[in-house]
Amino acid sequence: MDKEKGLLIVLSGPAGVGKGTVCGALRQQDTDIQYSVSATTRKPRQGEVDGVNYFFKEKEHFEEMIKNDQLLEWAEYVGNYYGTPVDYVRETINKGQDIILEIEVQGALKVRERFPEGVFIFLMPPSLAELRSRIVGRGTETEEIINKRMTVAKEEIDMMKRYDYVVENDEVHLAVERIKAIVTAEHCKRERLIEKYTQLVEVQ
């Protein structure tokens, strides 16, 4: 009997909503979910490690990856490129392992075009005021960039209707529990299991 394929779980939302924090907490609780490392041309923040948080690339290298179709998706966001290497994603899913992509909204919508069977989760802040507070709290952005991110965030929230699920990140541990419940439910979907169990009946 063919092994069930893994899920492609796409988690996105506005900058500052806590995607990285939620993904980190999810990975600590559920080691069965692989984390897909994105490539980016932005500079590392303090404590970020190449190949762990991101693959940090020079702009020229990233553009070569685009040209050679080595990215599942890519987007330019506030002056930097972000993208998902395609080979690792495909290999992981085909082995029956779930993989989670933590990416920007533009990238998520491109993935949806190529992998409509993926599970798309939009992470929401409790409020726009709280979102701004979180971005300011990073201490890494200028006032101009913060204002630009807030403008983009409002546009991105309008894209929520193109996702399968919405999870509010009011408390990290609650957001993680909601995502785990979504993943469990998706594994039980009839569409994912019907071929497997049809084969079981035919064998009998």
pLDDT tens-digit profile of 8-60? 999 999 888 889 899 989 988 877 898 888 889 999 999 999 988 888 999 99
pLDDT at residue 83 is higher than 80: yes
> Is 54 within 8 Å of 163 (Cβ atoms)?
no
pLDDT at residue 4 is higher than 90: no
Positive or negative: CA dihedral 6, 38, 32, 186: negative
Do β-strands 119-124 and 165-168 pair in parallel, antiparallel, or remain unpaired?
Answer: parallel
Domains recognised in the chain with CATH numbers: 8-36+97-203 (3.40.50.300)
pLDDT at residue 119 is higher than 80: yes
| Calpha distance 165→83 (Å, rounded) | 22
Count of Cβ atoms closer than 10 Å to residue 115 Cβ: 18
- According to the model, what pLDDT value does residue 3 have? 67
| Calpha distance 172→168 (Å, rounded) | 9
Facing residues of 71 across strands? 85
| Calpha distance 167→124 (Å, rounded) | 6
| Calpha distance 73→8 (Å, rounded) | 14
Dihedral in degrees, nearest 10, Cα atoms 156, 69, 36, 164: 40
pLDDT at residue 162 is higher than 50: yes
Average per-residue pLDDT for the chain:
88
